Structure 1
């Protein structure tokens, strides 16, 4: 192990060598084994070089960046044990950086490994969502039901299973919120947006008068029975065709779009995690990747002379 890197007493922002020199002094003062020290130095060097390649300043390092780096290792087919070790190394480095006031706040990297590389979700633009949610025939019970159902899904980011299992007792329209239960307990309280609330109230009035309404479910099929996932998928496909949306959308597209649009408009990713009911922040971080990719594409198309 090479411990003869020149030591410095200051940190130039983005200076990996200066930071690693001080970090090596720090870990040499600890009772780590030589193997652990070598692993920490190697792993942290690679992580900081990754940060430098992205032109990110040290003080901008956050948990989302760590997640992206670990997912990058997963895409390189690194073993889960290697990824777990890297997470431990980075945790130690970030703790050191916080003590040295190189980063302003401690970075929460307490998430699960191994990491699964999730496929990039199909999402809609705000304009496409408007098109999709304006294709229902509001003169029919089915159209009102579908309008209220889709508006609620986009407003609250619920899963299909949660939407189709929603009971009239899981809603408080006066307080504009729904309760999503797990194991018969209320686990998440999600606010309902004004537009979704408007159509939900209209639908609920018609629902009271619907002759085949014998269920506590908010939404049911025209026979009064519980809607199936397949039935929901069919109506999503039907409305996407009517709206001339060419994307291959599925039953989760509105949920994904909900998350993307929240984060794009400045919502804190941990708040979005809680709304979506994700146990692990890494499941939510994929939406940040989608947004970053959008921005890169936009910058390229607007800047490169041969992009268009």
Structure 2
């Protein structure tokens, strides 16, 4: 396997990485994503013996795009990849290495819209009812109750500090995408679960740690740890499928829409900048209504019975 330094365009990719790190001040996680996307270009250039930027033209990028699509990459993945390439080529043009952007005009194929998986109300209730009074059980119980109660993103849950939650006022202040803050209500079950957890948190948290949820080492719990804990809870609660943090958020949104039919309210609670992002839950709501219709409407029942006898 070739090292990054041995691949074509190594100098240009490294210069671009330094630009993103120093001038754009992107996080290491985002930088890694750019490097992975550009490595695909470098490996393709190696197989095609394209050793310089000026040999990579529009047709080569089109061929690589088709190749990745055939290998199973979806529309969103390919759109992100094309975006990374366009940024890299724009950087190359500013440096005088290229005259035109070979990725311009290319579009990723559209992926079929997948509806997010959700738990129904009974399943959600089953999942969040955790037993145990030890530190881990109380912490996990507070986490899942809070995620489901307020529709939090994983990053919002992990970044929450003790001072951000007001148990008396039953509210929480979170920082969402784009560093936008919003205040959310917290349900009574979540309030009770957090109160129980706070009773043991101080015995485990480091003295200067502001995070609401901490690991056994006393530091802020990581994203991966929360995901792993939810996977284990899924098994213990007999869910029959792994429940991930975003599934609780989807379930929160779906259940709120089923009860209120207020799309703007759900948009506000979820922190969506565009209501079109929230509208996916109207499809979930329709699925719920269709299921109720099929089980309740006499003509729907007759149709199903007739179908069974054919």
Q: 2:165 — aligned with what?
A: 171
Given that 1:135 and 1:242 are in contact with CA atoms closer than 8 Å, whether structure 2 keeps it comes out as no
Look up the SS of the partner of 2:305 in the other structure.
Answer: coil
Q: Quick one: which of 280, 292, 295 aligns to 2:286? A: 292
Please tell me whether residue 158 in structure 1 is matched to residue 152 in structure 2. Answer: yes
Q: Quick one: which of 231, 243, 259 aligns to 2:225? A: 231
Q: 2:209 — aligned with what?
A: 215
Superposed, which structure 2 residues align to 1:52-91 within 5 Å?
A: none
Look up the SS of the partner of 2:172 in the other structure.
Answer: strand
TM-score, normalised relative to structure 1: 0.58
Q: 2:124 — aligned with what?
A: 129
TM-score, normalised relative to structure 2: 0.57
CA separation in 2, counterparts of 1:266 and 1:183? 25
Considering Cα pairs closer than 8 Å and 6+ residues apart, tell me whether 1 or 2 has the greater RCO. Answer: 1
Given that 1:300 and 1:307 are in contact with CA atoms closer than 8 Å, whether structure 2 keeps it comes out as no
Query: How many angstroms does 1:294 deviate by?
Result: 2.5
Query: How many angstroms does 1:121 deviate by?
Result: 0.7
Given that 2:214 and 2:221 are in contact with CA atoms closer than 8 Å, whether structure 1 keeps it comes out as yes
Q: 1:17 — aligned with what?
A: none
Aligned residues: 193
Please tell me whether residue 305 in structure 1 is matched to residue 309 in structure 2. Answer: no
Query: How many angstroms does 1:307 deviate by?
Result: 5.8
Pairwise CA RMSD:
2.3
> Cα 1:293–1:176, aligned 2, differ >3 Å: closer, same or farther?
same
Query: How many angstroms does 1:279 deviate by?
Result: 0.7
Please tell me whether residue 188 in structure 1 is matched to residue 182 in structure 2. Answer: yes
Query: How many angstroms does 1:193 deviate by?
Result: 0.8
Runs of 4+ more than 6 Å apart: 183-186
